[in-house]
């Protein structure tokens, strides 16, 4: 639902959800990754999927071609488009100077046509994350330069032609250094931020593990699940807490863990970041509704990275259906 079909506003699909007894509070919490007791039959899920797919269908407009070109050429970070454009320039220059008309024609038709078809599909389906687009561009550059390299020795170039090609290759090398430097700085910044984030998670873990008699529920929007190395066993070891929701929340094993952990407890603590609006979030509203009343603020503490967290206590076991 989240990745492929999205989650429309409740008003748009209320006529479907009401048939399965899904309230506005429960659906809004689901959209915010609070998926403790999300039970909906398969037929309703298929109806939801079909409705969303049909309602999102678009008709092709001439202006879409401009949008495709804008995203595929200029809508990328780190000036990656420079590498791609210079690779195309080298290929075209090589074909023109070497009079390789057939290879040039087939290359433009095949690579250009494939590029347009793939990018049209990705933009049309709104599936253009960097994990898809960057490998796609890398393959495009590889094929362009491979055509030049494989046919290089078959052509006799005079000195001035070699000079032009050498300048093109030099520009390509410099563009790789330029965009590589930008990516390196970005990765360094991400790693630095993740270290701060992970230190905060370690402190949250220590906070929860420090009171093994309590039950803790972590807000998924606040405590984004860890996406680092699977060998980092320090993060994957058991913790005295459960996450409000994630990709596998409706799987039998996760549901069993949630019901065993929260279903039999006399009460539980809900951790959420304090930003002045935490009591208006869909997660908080849903828990207040399903638990039959507002919780009490049991604690408030600040992590080393500066984030302040509220710890609310809900009395009673979570009423799993």
Long-range contact pairs involving 10-16 (C-beta distance under 8 Å, separation at least 24) = 12/55, 13/48, 13/51, 13/52, 16/44, 16/47, 16/48, 16/51
Q: Which residues pair with 296 in a beta bridge?
A: 313
Helices (H) and strands (E) in the chain, counts: 12, 5
Query: What is the pLDDT at residue 87?
Result: 92
Residue 60: pLDDT band by 50, 70, 90 thresholds? low
Winning range, highest mean pLDDT, from 73-82, 267-276, 303-312: 267-276
> Quick one: how far is CA 79 from the chain centroid?
21
Residue, of 59 and 241, whose pLDDT is higher: 241
Residue 77 and residue 149 in contact, taking contact as beta carbons nearer than 8 Å: no
- Write a three-state SS string for 261-278: HHCCCCEEEEEEECCCCH
Residue 174: pLDDT band by 50, 70, 90 thresholds? very high
The answer to whether position 4 is within a domain reads: no
Looking at the chain, the whole-number percentage of residues with pLDDT higher than 90 is 26
Residue with tokens 């039998």: 252
117 & 208 share domain: no
225 & 130 share domain: no
The answer to whether position 192 is within a domain reads: no
226 & 150 share domain: no
154 & 95 share domain: yes
Calculate mean pLDDT across residues 125-132: 79
From residue 281, how far is each of 214, 278, 316 by CA, in Å?
24, 5, 21
The answer to whether position 246 is within a domain reads: yes
203 & 311 share domain: yes
Looking at the chain, the whole-number percentage of residues with pLDDT higher than 70 is 88
175 & 268 share domain: no
47 & 163 share domain: no
Query: What is the pLDDT at residue 93?
Result: 87
179 & 217 share domain: no
What is the average pLDDT score of the chain?
83
Residue, of 208 and 250, whose pLDDT is higher: 208
31 & 70 share domain: no
Q: Which residues pair with 270 in a beta bridge?
A: 217, 312
Q: Which of 17-21, 38-42, 238-242, 250-254 has the lowest mean pLDDT?
A: 38-42
SS3 label, residue 217: strand
Last residue within a domain, chosen from 136, 159, 187: 187
The helix (H) or strand (E) run that includes residue 97 is helix 80-98
The answer to whether position 1 is within a domain reads: no
Residue with tokens 């087939």: 106
208 & 278 share domain: yes
Name every residue whose Cβ is closer than 8 Å to that of residue 163 and which is 6 or more positions away in sequence: none
109 & 37 share domain: no
The answer to whether position 275 is within a domain reads: yes
Domain of residue 77, residue span: 63-187
The total domain count for the chain is: 3
75 & 148 share domain: yes
The answer to whether position 320 is within a domain reads: no
Last residue within a domain, chosen from 187, 219, 244: 187
For residue 59, pLDDT beyond 90: no
């Amino acid at each position: 639902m989240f990745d492929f079909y999205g989650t429309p506003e409740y008003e748009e699909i209320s006529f479907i959800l009401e048939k399965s007894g899904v309230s506005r509070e429960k659906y809004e919490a689901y959209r915010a990754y609070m998926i403790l007791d999300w039970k909906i039959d398969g037929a309703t899920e298929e109806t939801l999927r079909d409705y969303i797919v049909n309602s999102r269908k678009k008709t092709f407009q001439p202006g879409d071609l401009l949008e495709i070109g804008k995203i595929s050429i200029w809508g990328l970070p780190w000036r990656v488009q420079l590498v791609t454009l210079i690779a195309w320039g080298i290929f075209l220059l090589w074909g023109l100077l070497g009079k390789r008309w057939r290879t040039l024609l087939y290359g433009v038709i095949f690579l250009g046509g494939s590029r347009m078809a793939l990018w049209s599909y990705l933009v049309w389906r709104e599936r253009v994350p960097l994990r898809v687009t960057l490998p796609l561009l890398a393959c495009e550059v590889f094929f362009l330069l491979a055509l030049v390299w494989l046919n290089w020795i078959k052509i006799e170039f005079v000195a001035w032609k070699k000079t032009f090609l050498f300048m093109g290759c030099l520009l390509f090398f410099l563009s790789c250094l330029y965009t590589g430097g930008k990516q390196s700085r970005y990765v360094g910044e991400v790693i630095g931020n993740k270290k701060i984030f992970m230190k905060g998670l370690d402190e949250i873990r220590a906070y929860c593990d420090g009171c093994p008699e309590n039950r803790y529920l972590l807000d998924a929007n606040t405590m984004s699940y860890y996406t680092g190395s699977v060998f980092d066993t320090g993060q994957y070891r058991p913790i005295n807490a459960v996450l409000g929701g994630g990709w596998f929340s409706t799987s039998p094993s996760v549901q069993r863990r949630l019901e065993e952990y929260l279903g039999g407890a006399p009460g539980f603590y809900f951790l959420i970041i304090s930003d002045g609006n935490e009591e208006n979030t869909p997660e908080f509203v849903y828990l207040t509704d399903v638990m039959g009343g507002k919780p009490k603020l049991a604690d408030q503490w600040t992590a080393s990275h500066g984030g302040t967290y509220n710890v609310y206590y809900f009395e009673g076991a979570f009423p799993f259906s």
